[in-house]
């Protein structure tokens, strides 16, 4: 934060002045008044999401255009800029995804709620079919998905028979991601890409570490963060970028 030139020093002084003013107004009970003044402007125009992202996102100049688009969409899906450092892509995930989707690879999701959130028309345009691993319409939570996977051996058997070159999208059951990593390690399945973003407090972080170590192309969010919406958003962003910018090769120079 310490400025090394005059411009930085000026900016720093302005920021400190604003912080002092905010501190004074807060102590005098004027914080509500301050927010009221700021909130009054929201009725004058629509929210400028892209402008906000440009101001709030960290420096991503070392990332490709496609990766920046993916990260931006993930941030918009959860409303939290602090998500960015936890998003991990590995083993040429962007290149692998574009190759797989361009060839019309099957897409396998863990529960029906993810299928409902993904861009089915664009996937159909690419010739990609969609399969649901735990095909139970009553599953509406990570806990229900996890229990269903453990209680029925049919899901585990179905996982072992996934077609080679498929794209796997997991946003609910961390044990499904663990089983995928185990099947990959045992050479039983060979997916082209795994988007592994299940939410959870013990199994999910462990499953994501296994995915990162698996050697297959992957996109994940480290730790407990994740969920079906983020997993679907990641898939949709990749598919959209392929259709909208089929000749983009910016990711190859990273």
| Paired strand residues for 218 | 90, 194
Q: Given a cut of 80, is residue 111 above it in pLDDT?
A: yes
List pLDDT tens digits, range 170-228.
Answer: 999 899 999 999 999 999 999 999 999 998 888 999 999 999 999 999 999 999 889 99
Of 110-119, 139-148, 191-200, which range is least confident? 139-148
Please compute, for residue 179, the number of CA atoms within 13 A of its CA located in the half-sphere on the CB side: 21
- Rounded to whole angstroms, the Cα distance separating 84 from 81 reads 6
Phi first, then psi: give them for residue 235, nearest 5 degrees: -60, -50
Q: How confident is the model at residue 3 (pLDDT cuts 50, 70, 90)?
A: very low
Q: What is the pLDDT of residue 71?
A: 92
Q: What is the pLDDT of residue 141?
A: 86
List pLDDT tens digits, range 33-64.
Answer: 666 666 666 676 676 677 777 777 777 788 88
Query: Using H for helix, E for strand and C for coil, what is the string for the chain?
Result: CCCCCHHHHHHHHHHHHHHHHHHHHHHCCCHHHHHHHHHHHHHCCCCCHHHHHHHHCCCCCCCCHHHHHHHHHHHHHHCCHHHHHHEEEECCHHHHHHHHHHCCCCEEECCHHHHHHCCHHHHHHHCCCEEECCCCCCCCCHHHHHHHHHHCHHHHHHHCCCCCCCEEEECCCHHHHHHHHHHHHCCCCCCCEEEECCCCCCHHHHHHHHHHHCCCCEEEECCCCCCHHHHHHHHHHHHHHHHHCCCCCHHHHC
Q: What is the pLDDT of residue 1?
A: 43
Q: How confident is the model at residue 108 (pLDDT cuts 50, 70, 90)?
A: very high
Q: Given a cut of 90, is residue 166 above it in pLDDT?
A: yes
Length reported for the chain: 254
Average pLDDT, the chain: 85
List pLDDT tens digits, range 89-106.
Answer: 999 999 999 999 999 999
Q: What is the pLDDT of residue 31?
A: 64
CA 233 to mean position of chain CA atoms = 6
pLDDT exceeding 70 applies to what percent of the chain? 80
């Amino acid at each position: 934060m310490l400025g090394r030139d005059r411009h930085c020093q000026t900016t720093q002084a302005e920021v400190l002045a604003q912080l002092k003013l905010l501190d004074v107004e807060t102590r005098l009970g004027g914080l509500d008044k301050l927010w009221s003044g700021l909130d009054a402007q929201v009725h004058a125009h629509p929210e400028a999401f892209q402008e906000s992202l440009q101001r709030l996102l960290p420096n991503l100049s070392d990332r490709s255009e496609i990766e920046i688009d993916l990260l931006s969409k993930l941030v918009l899906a959860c409303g939290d800029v602090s998500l960015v450092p936890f998003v991990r892509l590995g083993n040429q995930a962007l290149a692998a995804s574009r190759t797989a989707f361009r060839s019309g690879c099957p897409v396998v999701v863990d529960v029906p709620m993810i299928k409902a959130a993904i861009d089915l028309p664009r996937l159909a345009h690419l010739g990609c079919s969609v399969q649901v691993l735990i095909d139970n319409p009553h599953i509406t939570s990570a806990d229900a998905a996890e229990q269903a996977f453990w209680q029925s051996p049919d899901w585990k058997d179905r996982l072992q028979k996934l077609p080679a070159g498929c794209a796997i999208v997991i946003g609910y059951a961390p044990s499904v991601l663990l089983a995928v990593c185990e099947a990959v390690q045992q050479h039983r399945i060979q997916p082209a890409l795994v988007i592994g973003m299940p939410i959870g407090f013990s199994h999910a972080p462990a499953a994501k570490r296994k995915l990162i170590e698996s050697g297959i192309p992957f996109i994940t969010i480290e730790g407990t963060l994740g969920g079906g919406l983020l997993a679907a958003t990641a898939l949709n962003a990749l598919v959209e970028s392929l259709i909208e910018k089929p000749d983009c090769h910016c990711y190859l120079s990273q």
